[in-house]
Structure 1
Amino acid sequence: MHLTEATWTDVDACDTDLAVLPVGSTEQHGPHAPLGTDTVTAAAVADAAVDAYDDEVVVAPAIPVGIAEEHRQFTGTLWVSPETFRSYVRETVQSLASHGFDRVVVVNGHGGNVDALREVTGTITRHDDAYAVAFTWFEAVGEHAADMGHGGPLETALLRHIAPETVHEDRIEEARAGAADRWGDWKSHVNLAHDSAEFSENGVVGDPADGDAERGETLLTLACESLVALLEAVATRDVARPDHR
C-alpha cells in the first residue's frame, strides 16, 4: 500500500507493522542518465519486492535528496548534510512507527547514503519505538555488484529496463569518453579525492554501454529476491533489545 495513493482510512485498516522507505538522491549521473536515477531505481526495487512479498507492506514516499555533496560541481545536484539526512530519515521512521508501522526497511539507491543509513537505523533501533535496517540494492545483485560505478553499467542497465525513456541513448558515447575507470584517486589504500569531478570528466564511472536492458532485468530480479528475503526476516524477527549485562 502506497501512502501517497491511499486514503487515511485505507491506511488505518491496513493490518501490518512492516513498511519500506525508499531513499535516493538528486545528483548528476553523467550526460546520459537523469539526476533522479538513485531515487527512481530505489523506488523500483522497493515496488518490485512489495509486489512479490506474500503479505501487506506499507510503502512510504521516497526521499529524493541525500548526501551528495561529492557531486556538487555538476549542475542540478542537490544535497543535505549527513546530520540533516539522518534526522529526516529518523523522524520519518518515527512517524511511521507512531501509526504502528514500526518495522521499517530503508531501501537505498545511493552510495553516499550508506554510512549514514547504517548509523541512523542503529540509533532508531536502540533508542526509538521502532526497528529499522537499510538495504542498498546494488550491493544485493551477486557478482554484478563488482561492476558498480556511477552512471555506469548497473545503473544504466536498470534504467534501460524500468524507465528506458529516461536514458539519452544518443549520449552514451559521450558518457563513455569522459568516464573514469574506477571511483576515486587511490594511494596507499586511501582515496585522495573527495569530489567526483577530481577523477571523472563528466561524472561517469564505468562503461554505461555494458548495461543493457536484459542485464537490468536480471539486476531487478536479483535485488527483488534479496529484498523479499529481508522483508520476511524483518517481519518475523524478535526485535526486543537484549538486556544490559
Structure 2
Amino acid sequence: MTSFFAYDEITWPEVALLPRNTPLVIPLGAGYDQLQLAAALGAPPRVGLLPALPFGWHGSALSVPDAVLGALLRNLLDSLRDDGFTQVFALTPEGLQLGLEHARIAQPVAARLQPARQQLPPAAAAGSVILFPIGHTEQHGHHLPLSTDNIIIDHISRAAAALLPQLAYSMPLMPYGVSTHRSSFAGTLNSGGRAFEDFWLAVVDALVARGFDRIYLMSGHGGNCSFLTTVVKYAGERHRRIFCATAYLHTAGPAGAAAVKAHRVSAVGGMGHAGELETSMILALRPDLTHMQRVVDETDFVATASYYMDWAEGGALVANPPWDDDTATGSYGAGSVATAAHGHIWLAAAAAEKAEHVREIHEQQRRREQRREAGYGLWGRT
C-alpha cells in the first residue's frame, strides 16, 4: 500500500535522508485519484507530494501559454534531479502540451473535485488591487519546514485583503520561486530566473487582457525579489495604463521594521533566514511544523559596513556569496529566542504594512489616470 507524504512539511535534513528512488510529484491543481497515481508509479511504498501549482495551465482559473508553464515546470523538476532524485514527475490534467515527455503523468480530474469554472480573480474584483502571494519551497535550517515562506506570505496576503475587502483581492499562493543557493542544503527548488520572470509577466498580460489594472506581486522569499522587480519594469513598459508593483519581502518597510525593532530579543544578525522573525511567525501559524529542539543559532555572517545580514541583507553592496560561507545548518539568525507571541505581533504588522501598500497603489493609479485623462505631457498628443 502506497503512502503519501507532504514534501514541503519536512526539513532539509529529512529530505537529505530520503531514498533517491522515492517518487516526487508536483501536481497542477487538485482532484487527482491517489490510487491511480500510485498505480502509475508502480505502487511504491512512499510518494512525496510537493505543493500544487494553483493556476497557469489551460483550464485552470488563470492560464498562461503552455511553453511558459512548461519551462517553469522543467526547472522545478530539474531541481529535484540535481538533488539526486530519479523519479520526479508533474501530475497534470489530460490534454496539455508542456514538453515534459516522460516526466509527466496525465490524469483526468474528478469532476467533484475540479476547481470552479469561475476565473480568478473574479470579475467582481475589477478595480481591486490583485494580491499575488509568491513564496518558495526551500530549506529553512534544521527546525523549520520547507514551506516556511509559503505559510507566512499566504497568511499575510489573506490578512491584508481581509483588512481592505473592498480594495484588495488575494489570489491563491504560488509556492515556487527562485533560489540560486541550492548545492549545500537539500530540498530547495528553483523555478529559474528567466522562466519565473516569463511566467509572471504572462500572468500580468492575462489580467490586463481581462481589464485588471492594479497588481501587487508580494514575495515571501528574498530570492524572488530582484526577478519580480524585472517583471514589474517590463509590465509597466508593456502596459502603460496599469500600476503593477512589488516590494522587498514583508515586515521591511518603516512600520514593519519599527515593530521588529520594538519586540526583538536577538541582536542585529539574529533575524535572518530561519532566525527569530520567521521562526516566531511559524510558531504562531504552524507550531506543529516547528522543531524548536533542533534549532541551531548561527549569527556569524561575514559582515562589513556595506554588506551584512539581519532580516534583510543590508548595506550599499548587492552580492550573492555561497550560503555555506556563513552557515553550516542553512539558518542565518537566532531562532532559539523566537516566540509565538512575537510572531503574532509581527504578522499583524506585516499585514498592516501590505494594506497600506494597497491604499498607495490605488492612489497612484487614480492620480495617474487623472493626469492621463487631462492630457498631461505625451498623453495630450494625438
- The TM-score bracket by the shorter chain reads 0.7 to 0.9
Counterpart selection for 1:65 from 170, 176, 179: 176
Counterpart selection for 1:82 from 175, 193, 197: 193
Counterpart selection for 2:207 from 96, 111, 117: 96
Task: Tell whether the 8 Å contact from 2:143 to 2:290 is kept in structure 1 after alignment.
Answer: yes
Number of positions where the alignment pairs a residue of Structure 1 with one of Structure 2: 239
Structure 2: how far apart are the matches of 1:38 and 1:137? 11
SS, match of residue 33 in structure 1:
coil
Counterpart selection for 2:250 from 128, 134, 137: 137
For 1:210, the equivalent position in structure 2 comes to 337
SS, match of residue 95 in structure 1:
helix
Counterpart selection for 2:137 from 18, 26, 39: 26
Structure 2: how far apart are the matches of 1:235 and 1:193? 34
For 2:272, the equivalent position in structure 1 comes to 149
Aligned sequence identity (%): 24
Does 61-70 or 203-212 show the bigger shift?
Answer: 61-70
SS, match of residue 80 in structure 1:
coil
Does 35-44 or 62-71 show the bigger shift?
Answer: 62-71
For 1:235, the equivalent position in structure 2 comes to 362
Please give the TM-score of this superposition, normalised by the length of structure 2.
0.56
Change in 2 beyond 3 A, CA 1:165/1:96: farther
Whichever residue aligns with residue 244 of structure 2, its letter is A
Structure 1: how far apart are the matches of 2:125 and 2:214? 14
Task: Tell whether the 8 Å contact from 1:15 to 1:56 is kept in structure 2 after alignment.
Answer: no
Displacement of 1:87: 1.3
Task: Tell whether the 8 Å contact from 2:127 to 2:213 is kept in structure 1 after alignment.
Answer: no
What aligned pairs does 1:38-53 form with structure 2 within 5 A after superposition? 38-53=149-164
Counterpart selection for 1:169 from 264, 278, 292: 292
Whichever residue aligns with residue 153 of structure 1, its letter is E
Task: Tell whether the 8 Å contact from 1:71 to 1:195 is kept in structure 2 after alignment.
Answer: no
For 1:181, the equivalent position in structure 2 comes to 300
Task: Tell whether the 8 Å contact from 1:49 to 1:228 is kept in structure 2 after alignment.
Answer: yes
Unaligned runs of 5+ in 2: 1-60, 63-114, 262-267, 308-316
Structure 2: how far apart are the matches of 1:185 and 1:193? 13
Whichever residue aligns with residue 300 of structure 2, its letter is D
Displacement of 1:7: 4.9
Change in 2 beyond 3 A, CA 1:221/1:186: same
Structure 1: how far apart are the matches of 2:306 and 2:226? 22
Structure 2: how far apart are the matches of 1:69 and 1:227? 27
Please give the TM-score of this superposition, normalised by the length of structure 1.
0.85
Task: Tell whether the 8 Å contact from 1:71 to 1:197 is kept in structure 2 after alignment.
Answer: no
Which has the greater radius of gyration?
A: 2
Structure 2 residue 325 is the aligned partner of structure 1 residue 198: yes
Structure 2 residue 121 is the aligned partner of structure 1 residue 8: no
For 2:19, the equivalent position in structure 1 comes to none
Task: Tell whether the 8 Å contact from 1:24 to 1:39 is kept in structure 2 after alignment.
Answer: yes
